[in-house]
Chains A and B, each alone.
Chain A
């Protein structure tokens, strides 16, 4: 996949007074990718997003969206962007439909048909002519998605999109984002401090901490960095004998007692049947075997140290 990047940030820095909010951020996102911003609160996720959409000025460096500089060619650059910055605040005294008409008027070429299309996309047909103040949070969120997609952007930016959504809503949003990237080739940037969410949603994740980019990596790399060496949890009795039996075996990197009745073995996948055979030979009773996935959360804590999350 050697596609043109939709968005390029180079040496982006944001300073307010003497405080450096964002320090020398450089990365690019290719077309069709779901790119995640991950970081504890105050790491600079929202600040970065605000700079991308032109709500905040950039102290140093530049941001190009489809080759257009957001600072000097704002109107051409922002045309390609649909966004929800934090919660999507709509005009509460207007109906959902009029809110969409409002935003449609601001971009050339958005027809009435397109508005109807987007409304049915987010399944608001029945309530679209009600005033927004009568909407539930989930409906407001959906209207937010509708306004962001109205002008068929090539880049969709969602700041904390799952805030206030129930699990069903989150799942729906996730499936929908996947659908958009596949069918329309939309590029998505999401920010979140919910690690599990990012794990399910994103292709690549950038970790921010105190305004600095700590790492960018594909999500798979977070969870299965060493594909074959994994930690397995074996529930076996008596535990002491199990520990002793496994310890001396080949290719076993680490053995430890997780808790009473459970042994944690770090080894290659291929060795598991042998280990189990060895245990059975030693008359040890096995109740269960499971793979311990190192989650994004563990990875995240590892990378950022013991920083408070979310």
Chain B
């Protein structure tokens, strides 16, 4: 099994295109962070954070005076003001103007990890079929299940490599731009009960990574299923990336139907529970985990059945 994973890794990393994707990942992270630093990160450096927080609180209090403000927005601004006050009282500087600002916002680029991994996944099974190498691969003393599993593991490893790239590059570039200070700065946030808590910045970052990673894994599994079912790379890559982007739009349209909460796209984003705004009322983290687990099993079962039972004729 280890050997099979080594084989799959060899097929991934001894290709130029893989390193182009990794390079693109690094380039995007660099580019976005430098732009952000250039446009507004620079001026928040030093001790300017107090004035900035006070200014923001003042603006937000103005907004709160508006009579036609929605409930959600009102709650949001009240929470933000409370957080800012906490920063000022406890003399904990905000992340603005520290490397953490950039590092945390880089976590949003995890969608790139999903896209790039889908490209590798979509081509893996289908590519072996279209180049006919599948014939020589399947006539070895390794069952088809093992081959499928080894491919799956190699994708997860590739996803992790991209995640590591994201983490390392974003810490390095923001560290260089803002200085490697405030390493032990806590993350100040409000928990579900409305209590203000201090969290470890790195732990919180990896928690965000992991929660986003769940959605990446779901899309990988979906691309893998399409790749082994239809044996077409274009279809697997196109459909999965399409679903990634169209998912939210479709969910917006289906929001009024009660059953829409059972759809995959309503549950992939687990960070909705961090913020406390689930897709539909009554959805909980454990509900989403169960739904995702069911989809995960079904996708893998389909890949497995089709891949092991179908004749290799082409």
- Residues on A close to B: CB < 8 A? 16, 50, 53-57, 74-76, 78-79, 81, 83, 85-94, 98, 101-103, 105-108, 147
Contact = CB atoms under 8 A, between A and B. Distances in A.
Interface string B131-147: 11101101111110000
B94 to A, nearest CB: 49
Contacts of A94: 10-11, 14
Most buried by B among A83, A87, A88, A105: A105
B309 interface: yes
Given A50-B313, A55-B138, A56-B312, A98 B14 contact: yes
A87 B139 CA distance: 14
Contacts of A105: 3-4, 6-7
Contacts of A79: 141
A227 B174 CA distance: 90
B139 A75 contact: no
B311 A75 contact: no
Given A89-B132, A94-B11, A94-B14, A107 B309 contact: no
Interface string B2-38: 0110110011001110000000000000000000000
Contacts of A54: 138-139
Interface residues of B, number: 24
Q: Which 4 A-B pairs have the closest CB atoms?
A: A89-B132, A105-B3, A106-B140, A55-B312
A258 to B, nearest CB: 47
A56 B140 CA distance: 14
Contact of B139 (A85, A98, A101, A102): A85
Given A103-B140, A105-B4, A89 B11 contact: no
Given A55-B139, A91-B11, A50 B133 contact: no
19 contacts: A16-B311, A54-B138, A54-B139, A55-B311, A56-B311, A57-B309, A75-B142, A79-B141, A83-B139, A86-B132, A89-B132, A89-B133, A90-B136, A91-B11, A91-B133, A93-B15, A105-B4, A106-B7, A107-B141
A78 B141 contact: yes
Contact of B136 (A57, A98, A108, A147): A147
Contacts of B10: 94, 98, 101-102
Contacts of A89: 131-133, 135-136
Nearest to A46: B313
A92 B131 contact: yes
Nearest to A105: B3
A86 B135 CA distance: 9
Nearest to A75: B141
Given A93-B14, A98-B10, A78 B312 contact: no
A106 B142 contact: yes
A86 B312 CA distance: 13
A261 to B, nearest CB: 53
B45 to A, nearest CB: 47
Contacts of B311: 16, 50, 55-57
B134 to A, nearest CB: 9
A170 B220 CA distance: 45
Nearest to A74: B143
Given A89-B135, A92-B131, A93-B14, A106 B141 contact: yes
B4 A103 contact: no
A85 B135 contact: yes
Contacts of B142: 75, 106
Contacts of A53: 139
Contacts of A101: 10
A46 B133 CA distance: 16
B136 to A, nearest CB: 6
Interface in B187-224: none
B132 A87 contact: yes
Contacts of A92: 131
B7 to A, nearest CB: 5
A215 to B, nearest CB: 27
A57 B308 CA distance: 10
